[in-house]
Chains A and B, each alone.
Chain A
Amino acid sequence: MTRKGLDGGSLKVLSEESVLKVHQTAMQVIEEVGFEVQSDMALEFFGRAGGRVDRDKHLVRLSESKVKELIESAPSEIRLCGQDEAHDIALGGRRVYAGTGGTALYVYDPVANQKRLASMEDIRCIARLVDKLDNIHFYLLPTYPNELPLEQVDVNRFFAGLDNTTKHVMGGVYTSDGAKQVIHMAEVIAGSAENLRQRPLISMIACIISPLRMDKTYGDLIVTIARSGIPVACPAEPLCGATSPVTLAGNLVVQTVDSLVGVMLTQIVNPGTPVLFGSVATNTDLRDLKYLAGSVEMGLLNAAGAQMAQFYRLPFYATGGMTDSKTLDAQSGYESALTNLLCALSGANFIHDAAGLMEFAMTVSYEKYVIDNEILGMVMRAIEGIKVDDDTLAFDLIKQVGPGGNFVAARHTRHFMRSEHYQPSLSDRNSQEEWLAKGGKVTWERASEIIKELLAKPKHSLPRPIRQQVLSQIKGIIA
């Protein structure tokens, strides 16, 4: 059974009072310090919406009441659709979904214990894998095709996703022209522009550059995407001690302000635009300022971000499930599990990077998608929690079996065992002898075998007439 969209939120790393204090400080920053907007187009929009704009410094300040009004204009519930409706995900509240993330440059091969540059073929193959891995609920384009020139990257990445999985495809975009091309392609696939708005098969990401700065490219991109009505995530990536205060609370303030800047711009451009408040916040290794992808502080920051999103009633794009390990070892497992679990327990809606990523988010591994699929299955089971009612408390059964009896043959056991207990797809529960008899394989070796099976299965392709139409109408696609 597949578990997704279940309610998290049982974990609260912030008290209600702390949520309020982070919010108040964020409002103070927006009112007093302001934020820099390097896109003239975006600056114009903030000015028109009543922001106090210093054009020389490209600085915008907004009143708290204006901020509130703009946040309220954003929808609290967003549906991200798959080509197969069964894969739709309904973001909002404390419902939790998890999927892949990007954008990695390398692919790690555990057999050779080395990495290579990622290519277009990886985006296709990983899409095919994710399509078959039940606990990965959406496909966020995971790698950068190093062989393509920049202007061909956007449309080819999205095409590779849509042509290989029926799950929802989200991705970062690199140019405004590329974003427009991708939207046009998705409209062709959806049948019309209207169909795509009704059932968004794709969504995009436009980042805010912490601290307190929207750069020209992303500012222009947010305007372009918001105009199109395609769902967009506006995450911020403040790094403790580098691009935010070293303290986690200070980081949360910067993340809140920065992501809200993106959210507000979408609502000024096109009120009601489906937008995700987002966090890629983490700390840095203060020995060399490396971005850390597997730290426990990252888990805490994203868990807290989920609470802020719930406070603002905005769907939340969270980050969790990565590791800084260079290989698929114990560190890889515990960092991925811990950060995923913290996000999920706090009710983060859209946990991205939750599968496949390692080494400071620079590298993916096919094997890790299979391993993380298992972790996510366990995480989803954890947030499902413990159902307590007369049937599950089972007084009658306990009475019937009585002291010294057993429950193995009970119908009650058979009835509940599959739904109450997570069924692993990768973990080894054999005895030592059985495990050795099967070759004594470690986790990633077993994952490699699963990958072979999954990639041998028939793959999804866009329906032939639609595929033809896309290839004839959209230029520059390498099919």
Chain B
Amino acid sequence: MPEDIISLIQESVIQGRIYKDDEGMDEGMVGQPGVTELVESALASDLSIQSIITKGLSGGMNIVGQKFEAGEYFIPDMLASAEAVSAAMDILQPRLAASDIKTKGTIIVATVKDDLHDIGKNIVSILLRGAGYTVKDLGNNIDTQAIVDAVREEKPQFLGLSALLTSTMARMADVIQMLEQNGLRDQIKIIVGGAPVSEEFAKSIGADGYGADGFQALAVVEALTSGTEN
């Protein structure tokens, strides 16, 4: 029975259902418990937070990632799943603090100055949160100086920069330059993204990584995370 709850949690993440009234990817899901109800009953059954997170939530997200890569899932499907994970994490958070499970790291994300486009950055944030990172989202149209200040104060492991406009993507290079001038560059890994951004561009401005989409961004951060630990 307890094992069943974990697989139901996984399934509700795949279906992107937070509450029992939510629609899923498949027909006829309305009325069945969603991820929040399932997590509550898992806790009531004394299942470990570790297994809820790794087998249930992350396990579900992994399958969502595969479905997304296969072209079966679209971004709104993936977001529904990530939000389900996020809602479950909200329930688990107070208990997590008391346990010995650590967050994977902190990442500051921002859309650079003069750019108001933040959908891509928001998707990356949701996925990173869903994967267990602490995300501090500065918002859009953020001054280069403000980003550098945030890095100095928050001391994150990662900085994610986003730009959609060709006229603003150069601001990413400005941020990296100012971090260098302030002696902060070596303390963090920087990943960049946005429609006009490419792997080549990322390299040319001295970023550590580039993600073409949300899952790639997550994969890059995960790779850099294991890289920093090694």
Contacts from A to B (Cβ < 8 Å) = 103, 105, 144, 150, 174, 209, 213, 215, 217, 241-243, 286-291, 362
Residues of B within 8 A of A215 (CB): 116
Residues of A within 8 A of B76 (CB): 241, 286
B75 lies within 8 A of A287 (CB): yes
Q: State whether A144 and B119 are in contact (beta carbons under 8 Å apart), knowing that A217-B114, A288-B213, A289-B75 are contacts in the complex.
A: no
Best-surrounded residue of A150, A242, A289 (most CB of chain B within 10 A) = A289
Q: Which of A213, A287, A362 contacts B74 (CB 8 A)?
A: A287
Measured between alpha carbons, how far is A469 from B71 in the docked complex, in Å?
58
Residues of B within 8 A of A288 (CB): 75, 212-213
B167 lies within 8 A of A150 (CB): yes
Measured between alpha carbons, how far is A150 from B116 in the docked complex, in Å?
18
Q: State whether A287 and B71 are in contact (beta carbons under 8 Å apart), knowing that A209-B116, A217-B114, A241-B76 are contacts in the complex.
A: yes
Measured between alpha carbons, how far is A242 from B76 in the docked complex, in Å?
9
A105 lies within 8 A of B196 (CB): yes
A242 lies within 8 A of B71 (CB): no
Minimum distance in angstroms from A142 CB to a CB of chain B:
14
Instruction: Give me 11 other A-B pairs in contact (C-beta within 8 A), A144-B166, A289-B75 excluded.
Output: A103-B166, A150-B167, A217-B114, A243-B119, A287-B68, A287-B75, A288-B75, A288-B213, A289-B119, A289-B120, A289-B123
Main secondary structure, interface of A, reads: loop
Measured between alpha carbons, how far is A286 from B167 in the docked complex, in Å?
25
Closest 5 CB pairs of A and B: A286-B74, A288-B213, A286-B75, A287-B74, A105-B166
Residues of B within 8 A of A286 (CB): 74-76
Residues of A within 8 A of B74 (CB): 286-287
List the B residue with the shortest CB-CB distance to A284. Answer: B75
B43 within 8 A of A: no
Residues of B within 8 A of A291 (CB): 195
List the B residue with the shortest CB-CB distance to A290. Answer: B195
**Which chain B residues numbered 60 to 79 have a C-beta less than 8 Å away from chain A?**
68, 71, 74-76
Minimum distance in angstroms from B65 CB to a CB of chain A:
13
List the B residue with the shortest CB-CB distance to A213. Answer: B116
A242 lies within 8 A of B119 (CB): yes
Measured between alpha carbons, how far is A287 from B77 in the docked complex, in Å?
9
Residues of B within 8 A of A144 (CB): 166
List the B residue with the shortest CB-CB distance to A239. Answer: B119
Measured between alpha carbons, how far is A441 from B80 in the docked complex, in Å?
50
Could you give, for residues 186-204 of chain B, a 1 whenever the CB lies within 8 Å of some chain A CB and a 0 otherwise? 0000000001100000000
Residues of B within 8 A of A103 (CB): 166
Minimum distance in angstroms from A382 CB to a CB of chain B:
34
Measured between alpha carbons, how far is A288 from B196 in the docked complex, in Å?
13
Show 17 residue pairs from A and B whose CB-CB distance is below 8 angstroms, ordered by the A residue. A105-B196, A144-B166, A174-B167, A215-B116, A217-B114, A241-B76, A242-B119, A286-B74, A286-B75, A287-B68, A287-B71, A288-B75, A289-B119, A289-B123, A290-B195, A291-B195, A362-B196
List the B residue with the shortest CB-CB distance to A287. Answer: B74
Minimum distance in angstroms from B207 CB to a CB of chain A:
19
List the B residue with the shortest CB-CB distance to A150. Answer: B167
Minimum distance in angstroms from A98 CB to a CB of chain B:
25
List the B residue with the shortest CB-CB distance to A103. Answer: B166
Residues of A within 8 A of B71 (CB): 287
Measured between alpha carbons, how far is A310 from B35 in the docked complex, in Å?
50
Minimum distance in angstroms from A86 CB to a CB of chain B:
35
Measured between alpha carbons, how far is A290 from B212 in the docked complex, in Å?
11
Residues of A within 8 A of B116 (CB): 209, 213, 215
Minimum distance in angstroms from A42 CB to a CB of chain B:
15
Minimum distance in angstroms from A362 CB to a CB of chain B:
7
Residues of B within 8 A of A241 (CB): 76
Could you give, for residues 134-173 of chain B, a 1 whenever the CB lies within 8 Å of some chain A CB and a 0 otherwise? 0000000000000000000000000000000011000000
**Which chain B residues numbered 201 to 230 have a C-beta less than 8 Å away from chain A?**
212-213
Minimum distance in angstroms from A157 CB to a CB of chain B:
13
Residues of A within 8 A of B167 (CB): 150, 174
Measured between alpha carbons, how far is A406 from B167 in the docked complex, in Å?
63
Residues of A within 8 A of B166 (CB): 103, 105, 144
Measured between alpha carbons, how far is A463 from B47 in the docked complex, in Å?
83
Residues of A within 8 A of B195 (CB): 290-291
Measured between alpha carbons, how far is A103 from B167 in the docked complex, in Å?
11
Residues of B within 8 A of A209 (CB): 116
Minimum distance in angstroms from A154 CB to a CB of chain B:
12
List the B residue with the shortest CB-CB distance to A242. Answer: B119
Measured between alpha carbons, how far is A287 from B71 in the docked complex, in Å?
7
Residues of B within 8 A of A217 (CB): 114
List the B residue with the shortest CB-CB distance to A105. Answer: B166
Residues of A within 8 A of B68 (CB): 287
Measured between alpha carbons, how far is A288 from B78 in the docked complex, in Å?
11
Measured between alpha carbons, how far is A174 from B123 in the docked complex, in Å?
28
Measured between alpha carbons, how far is A86 from B119 in the docked complex, in Å?
45
Measured between alpha carbons, how far is A287 from B212 in the docked complex, in Å?
12
Residues of B within 8 A of A362 (CB): 196
Residues of B within 8 A of A290 (CB): 195
List the B residue with the shortest CB-CB distance to A291. Answer: B195
Minimum distance in angstroms from A443 CB to a CB of chain B:
29
